Amino acid sequence: MAASPLDQIDVRLTERLLAAALEGGADYADLYFEYAAGAHFGFEDGQVKSVGKGVTLGLGVRVLKGDSTGYAYTEELAEDRMLEAARTAGRIAASGAAPGPVALTRVSVLDLYKIKDAPWDRPGQEKVEMLREADRAARAYDPRIIRVEVGWGESQKDVLVVTSDGKIARDFQPMVRFSVGAVAEEDGKRQTGRSAGAARRGMELIKMEGQSPTDHGIEAARLAIAMLSAQEAPAGTMEVVLGPGESGILLHEAVGHGLEADFNRKKTSNYTDMIGKSVASPLCTVVDDGTLMNARGSINVDDEGNPGRRNVLIENGILAAYMQDRISSKHFGIAASGNGRRESFRHEPLPRMTNTLMMAGQDDPQDIIKSVKKGVYAKNFSGGQVNISNGDFVFSLTESYLIEDGKITAPLKGVNLIGNGPDVLRKVVMVGNDFELSPGTWTCGKDGQSVPVGIGNPTIKISEITVGGTKTS
C-alpha cells in the first residue's frame, strides 16, 4: 500500500487516546485503526457489467473492565472525535484506578503474505482480460453452458493495533479472489456449477496451479454439466467418504466453532471442560494454523496485537486446546493463541478460526473408496452451520456421488449431511495420505461478523452419518 492515512497516526496521539479510554478506571484498552480499500469487477452475458471500488477508514476503541467490554468507533480521525469514542467506550468502567502509562513496544509480526504483483498497480484492462478468458473457457467446455458469470475482487487492509499493555502492531493484509459461475441447460433442465479461488496474494494468484481463469472456467462448467445427470440423493444414515480439501468444512463446523474459547469460558459449548479428554477418533489430529504462507485465513498478527500461530486443537483424538482471544486467555490464565479477530473497526474482537485443518493419515484414498459397499462420496461443498450448544451441525454438498461396491457411480443432487460434532469425529475410521488445503473463498460468520478463513482435509471416511436426500428405500 503506497500512502496510507495510518502513516499519520503518531504514538503520542495513541497514548492520549488510551489515557482517555482508561480515565474512568478500566483495566485495559486497545485501539484498532483500519484503512481498507477494495475494488471489484463483474462479468456476465459476455461483457463487463459492473465495476466498483471503495474505501473505509476508521478507529475502533475497546475498553475492558473484568470480562465486560465497552466499544465505540468513529469514521472521522479528527482528535476530538477519536477522544469522544475513547471516552464513550471507557464508560464501561464507572470507577476504580486505571493502570498507569506503559511504554509501547512494537510487536514483531510474521511476514506471511508477500505479494509479487500488486493488483492495485495493474491496469483494469488486465483484469477484464482475465474475466474474458474464464468466460471463453467455460463456454468452450460444452455447448450446453448457457450462462457464465465471472468476478474478480481485490482488497488491501492496513491495520494498526495499539494496546494499553504496551503492544503496537501494524499489518498490511491483502486479499484477491476470482470466481466463476456457470449454468448448463439440457431438455429444459438447468444446473449450476461454481469454482473460485482466494488467497492473500496479488495477481500471481492466477498463475498458481489450478487457479488460472481457464482452470476456474472449465471447473465451473464441468460441475454444471456433471450435475445435469444428477439423481435423487438417498436419505438416512450410511458410510460417507469426504474428498480432500474443502471437506475441511466438516472440521470448521463439527469442532472448530465449539473450540472457540468464548463458548467454553461461558460453558455453553458441548466441548466445555473436555481438555485432555477424547473427543474424536485417535486418527484425528486437528490444527488451526494462521501461519500458512499466503493462505486466505492466515494472519501475521491478530486484531489484538498477537502474532498468528499454529495451534494443535485435537491431537490423536484428545482435545488439546481452545482458540483464545484476550478476554478468554485471561480467564483461563494461559497465553493468547493469535485467534482474536474482528471484521472491521466497527467490531469487537472474538476468538475466531484462521485455517482449520486435519493432518494427513496413512490410508490410500483409493482404498478408502474401495472399502465402502454402499455410501456417498462428497467432492464439492458450499457451506455449513453448527449449533454450538448441542453440537449438531450441517453442511451442504454441491457435488457428490453414490459409492456402490467400492466404486464411484451416479452423481447426486445437492444434499445436506447432518451430524453431531463429537459423535461424527469418533466415527472417522480412515484418514487419507492426501491432505489438501482448499483454495476456495471461505468466509466464516459469527455474531454478525464475517472473517476470511481457510479449511483443509485429507480424504476421510465416516462410518455413519445422516445423508439428507429425498430417496427413502
Partner 1 sequence: MSAERRLPDPAACQRAAEQMLNYAMQAGADGAEVLVRDGAELELRLRLGETELIKEAGSRALGLRVLKDQRPAVTYTSDFTEEGLRQLARETVELASLAEADPFALLPDREIMARDIPELNLWDDEVPKLTVQDALDWTRRAEAAALARDKRITNSEGASFSRTVGATAFASSAGFSGGYRGTYASLSVQPIADDVDGKKRNGSWWTGGRFFARLDSPESVGQTAADRTLAQLGSQKVATCQVPVIFAPEAGRSLVGKLVGVTSGSAVWRKSTYLADREGTDIASALITLVDDPLLPGAPGSRPFDAEGLASRPNVIVDGGVLRTFLCDTYSARKLGRASTGSAGRGIGGGPHVSTTNLILRPGKTSKEGLEQVDEGFYITHLMGFGFNGTTGDFSQGASGFWIKNGVRVFPVSEVTISSSFDSLWKNVDALGDDLDTRSSVQVPSFRVSQMTIAGR
Q: Which of residues 310-339 bind partner 1 (CB under 8 A)?
A: none
CA count, 13 A, side-chain hemisphere, 128: 10
Q: Which of 7, 66, 96, 364 binds partner 1 (CB under 8 A)?
A: 66
Calculate Rg over the CA atoms of the chain.
24
Residue 414 contacts partner 1 per CB under 8 A: yes
Q: Which of 29, 35, 70, 82 binds partner 1 (CB under 8 A)?
A: 70
What is the C-alpha end-to-end distance of the chain, expressed in Å?
59
- Residue 258 CB, shortest distance to partner 1, in Å, is 11
Nearer to partner 1, 310 or 427 (CB): 427
Residue 466 contacts partner 1 per CB under 8 A: yes
List the beta strands (DSSP E) in 187-289. Answer: 189-199, 235-242, 286-289
β partners of residue 392: 420
Amino acid letter, residue 257: H
Q: How far apart, in whole angstroms, are the C-alpha atoms of residue 282 and residue 120?
A: 47
Amino acid letter, residue 322: Y
Please give the C-alpha separations between residue 336 and each of 18, 142, 189, in angstroms, as whole numbers: 21, 52, 53
Residue 304 contacts partner 1 per CB under 8 A: no
Nearer to partner 1, 109 or 175 (CB): 175
Interface region with partner 1, contact rule CB under 8 A, candidates 26-34, 234-242, 305-313, 437-445: 234-242
* Residue appearing with cell numbers 495499539: 162
Q: How far apart, in whole angstroms, are the C-alpha atoms of residue 161 and residue 167?
A: 8
Q: Which of 16, 157, 190, 330 binds partner 1 (CB under 8 A)?
A: 190
Give the per-residue contact string, 244-273, with partner 1 (x = CB under 8 A; - = no): ----------------------xxxxx---
Nearer to partner 1, 391 or 456 (CB): 391
Residue 105 contacts partner 1 per CB under 8 A: no
CA 256 to mean position of chain CA atoms = 11
Nearer to partner 1, 9 or 360 (CB): 9
Grid cell digits, residue 171: 499489518
Residue 469 contacts partner 1 per CB under 8 A: yes
Helix 11-22 vs helix 79-90: angle between axes, to the nearest 10 degrees? Answer: 30
Q: Which of 221, 319, 372, 467 binds partner 1 (CB under 8 A)?
A: 467
Residue 55 contacts partner 1 per CB under 8 A: yes
Residue 54 contacts partner 1 per CB under 8 A: yes
